[in-house]
Amino acid sequence: MKLVIEARLESEDSHAPSEPIKIAVLDRPDEDLDQLGLTLEEGRELLAAAQSALIFRQAARWLETADYCRCCFTPLQHKDSRSIVIRTVFGKVPLTSPRFWSCGCDRPRGARRHTFSPLSGQLAKRITPELEYLQIKWAAHLPYWN
* pTM of the entire predicted model: 0.75
| Cα gap 92→84, rounded to integer Å | 10
Specify if 146 maps to a domain.
no
Note the Cα 146 to chain centre separation in Å.
39
Q: Which structural domain, as residue segments, surrounds residue 117?
A: 2-141
Q: pLDDT tens across 67-116, in order? A: 888 888 888 888 999 999 999 999 999 999 999 998 878 777 777 888 88
- When pLDDT is cut at 50, 70 and 90, the band that residue 5 belongs to is confident
| Cα gap 103→74, rounded to integer Å | 8
pLDDT score at 142: 67
Tell me the pLDDT of the chain averaged across its residues.
84
| Cα gap 21→35, rounded to integer Å | 25
Specify if 31 maps to a domain.
yes
Q: pLDDT tens across 45-60, in order? A: 889 999 999 899 889 8
- Alpha helical stretches, state H, the chain: 40-63, 118-122, 129-141
CB 116 within 8 A of CB 98: no
Domain count, the chain: 1
